[in-house]
């Protein structure tokens, strides 16, 4: 099968692979890379305390010491404060949080954000309006990459996500509504794996980081459906962003830094009303086709419930940095779902969508992550077998 080069229309979407790759490389990737470094987009509000509702016996999640996030600065164990300099036992089987590469750096400034509403996202489990246990995290200091999180805890999360909340559909399934959630999660999973492979701890003793192409191949490129789902998720999220253009163009990206904030506004405009993008792929995904049948509303409710469960599972991720990016990207997907399919209680298509700041931050950071993944898959995909054979 053709796993090296993908051609034709991305399944259930409206654009072909080549177009996705060219708009990504020419427009989306360069703009998003700049956008996510702006003050508005680099601080994410998140409840990082691991509060797993599913496995109360989960040692990994229950051990408060394991959760670096909740400790005030002066209580942090010294090795956590100076990650990677001291020997923390990296093969500690109980507390994978203890791995220095999995800790979250909370250095941030306290600039206020203004002009945004506070609403809860009905697609996610967290109450986004509850500021009680939320902290701000500087995403630029905490890149999504290899953390060492693996084994039964990680496996249990993925198993629960797929087996209970979005089972893989059978190959003959034609009902798009039944496929959409699985494809979105699988696409996100591919993207997480691509980021692990893109920034991997190659040599722990010398703290050497770099690409692990074997991992990229074995976890993603070897499986055409995982690559296809990555492209699908990318187009789905892109459609959500373009659908919310009016809202996003008028929003205030105010952090108190005039120069930086006008740059954010300018980049957003370039992204949202980009002629190249509009000409090449005007409708990345056609959400109007979904939920039209008699069972549409019921299917939508069910999908929302499943997605909320997946969102709740993020509280069981036993590695703080993985939890941070898991929560951010699930909120980003929840925001895309809210934009495209509206929400419980506000199901009127003519009612303009209301987004809160954190949702917009999650949405654009998710799009950037997917854009990075598509770029790497496109760059390495066609030649990877040769590279691996040669190496
Ligand atoms: P896993 O990636 O754990 O996959 C488990 C099973 O799921 C596979 O055996 C396969 O059957 C199926 N599967 C795999 N990929 C797909 C796909 N794309 N679509 C459909 N099915 C698939 N680790 C880090 O190092 N850094 C991180 O930032 C990080 N973030 C994470 C975030 C979350 C929410 C979770 C649950 C885990 C995270 N992990 C992270 C752990 C990482 O995802 C893997 O679980 C871990 O590296 C072990 O990988 P594995 O080879 O056992 O396969």
Q: For residue 158, how far is its CA from the centre of ligand 1 (angstroms)?
A: 7
Query: What's the pLDDT at 351?
Result: 64
Q: pLDDT tier at 102 (50, 70, 90 boundaries)? A: low
User: Is residue 140 predicted with pLDDT exceeding 50?
Assistant: yes
Query: What's the pLDDT at 348?
Result: 56
Helix crossing, 296-313 with 320-341: angle to 10°? Answer: 160
Active site residue 319: yes
Query: What's the pLDDT at 64?
Result: 37
Q: Which DSSP string corresponds to 214-275?
A: HHHIIIIIT-HHHHHHHHHHHHHHHHHHHHTHHHHHHS---SS-HHHHHHHHHHHHHHHT-H
ipTM above 0.90, yes or no: yes
Q: For residue 290, how far is its CA from the centre of ligand 1 (angstroms)?
A: 29
Residue with the bigger pLDDT between 313 and 141: it is 313
Residue with the bigger pLDDT between 88 and 302: it is 302
Asked whether the beta carbons of 40 and 139 are under 8 A apart, the reply is: no
- State whether the beta carbon of 243 lies less than 6 angstroms from ligand 1: no
147 a known binding residue?
yes
The neighbour count for residue 305, using CB atoms within 10 Å, is 12
Q: Tell me whether strands 200-203 and 43-46 are parallel, antiparallel or unpaired.
A: unpaired
User: Is residue 123 predicted with pLDDT exceeding 60?
Assistant: yes
348 a known binding residue?
no
For residues 320 and 61, what is the distance between their CA atoms, to the nearest angstrom? 10
Query: What's the pLDDT at 149?
Result: 86
Q: For residue 304, how far is its CA from the centre of ligand 1 (angstroms)?
A: 23
Tell me the average pLDDT of the chain: 81
Query: What's the pLDDT at 62?
Result: 43
User: Is residue 83 predicted with pLDDT exceeding 50?
Assistant: no
357 a known binding residue?
no
Query: What's the pLDDT at 218?
Result: 96
Q: Provide mean pLDDT across the span 316-339.
A: 93
For residues 214 and 138, what is the distance between their CA atoms, to the nearest angstrom? 30
pTM: 0.87
- State whether the beta carbon of 14 lies less than 6 angstroms from ligand 1: no
Query: What's the pLDDT at 282?
Result: 92
Residue to mutate, 322, 329, 374, ligand 1, most ligand atoms under 8 Å from C-beta:
322
DSSP state, 284?
Answer: S
User: Is residue 357 predicted with pLDDT exceeding 60?
Assistant: yes
pLDDT in tens, 143-184: 899 988 888 888 999 999 998 887 787 777 777 888 899 999
Structure tokens at 276: 């190249």
Active site residue 281: no
Helix or strand run (H / E) with residue 313: helix 296-313
Tell me the backbone φ, ψ of residue 118, rounded to 5 degrees: -115, 110
Asked whether the beta carbons of 366 and 333 are under 8 A apart, the reply is: yes
């Amino acid at each position: 099968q053709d796993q090296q080069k993908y051609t034709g229309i991305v399944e259930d979407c409206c654009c072909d692979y080549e177009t996705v790759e060219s708009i990504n490389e020419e427009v989306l990737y360069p703009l998003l890379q700049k956008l996510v470094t702006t003050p508005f987009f680099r601080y994410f509000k998140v409840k990082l305390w691991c509060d797993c509702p599913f496995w109360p016996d989960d040692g990994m999640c229950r051990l408060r010491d394991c959760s670096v996030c909740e400790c005030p600065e002066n209580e942090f164990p010294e090795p956590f404060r100076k990650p990677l300099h001291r020997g923390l036992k990296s093969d500690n089987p109980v507390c994978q949080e203890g791995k220095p590469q999995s800790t979250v750096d909370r250095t941030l400034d306290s600039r206020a954000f203004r002009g945004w509403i506070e609403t809860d996202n009905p697609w996610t489990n967290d109450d986004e309006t509850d500021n009680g246990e939320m902290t701000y995290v500087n995403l630029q200091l905490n890149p999504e990459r290899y953390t060492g999180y693996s084994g039964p805890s990680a496996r249990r999360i993925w198993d629960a996500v797929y087996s209970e909340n979005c089972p893989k559909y059978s190959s003959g399934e034609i009902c798009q509504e039944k496929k959409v959630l699985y494809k979105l999660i699988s696409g996100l999973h591919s993207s997480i794996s691509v980021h692990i492979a893109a920034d991997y701890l190659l040599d722990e003793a010398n703290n050497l980081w770099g690409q692990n192409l074997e991992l990229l191949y074995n976890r993603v490129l070897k499986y055409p459906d995982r690559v296809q789902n990555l492209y699908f998720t990318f187009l789905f999220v892109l459609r959500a962003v373009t659908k919310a253009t009016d809202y996003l163009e008028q929003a205030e990206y105010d952090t108190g830094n005039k120069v930086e904030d006008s740059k954010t506004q300018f980049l957003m405009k370039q992204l949202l009303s980009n002629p190249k993008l509009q000409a090449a792929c005007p409708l990345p995904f056609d959400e109007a086709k979904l939920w039209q049948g008699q069972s549409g509303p019921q299917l939508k409710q069910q999908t929302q419930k499943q997605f909320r469960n997946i969102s709740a599972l993020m509280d069981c991720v036993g590695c703080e940095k993985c939890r941070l990016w898991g929560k951010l990207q699930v909120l980003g997907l929840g925001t895309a779902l809210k934009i495209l399919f509206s929400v419980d209680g506000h199901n009127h298509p003519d009612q303009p969508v209301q987004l809160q700041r954190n949702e917009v931050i999650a949405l654009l950071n998710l799009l950037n992550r997917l854009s990075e993944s598509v770029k790497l898959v496109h760059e390495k995909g066609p030649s990877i077998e040769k590279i691996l054979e040669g190496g």
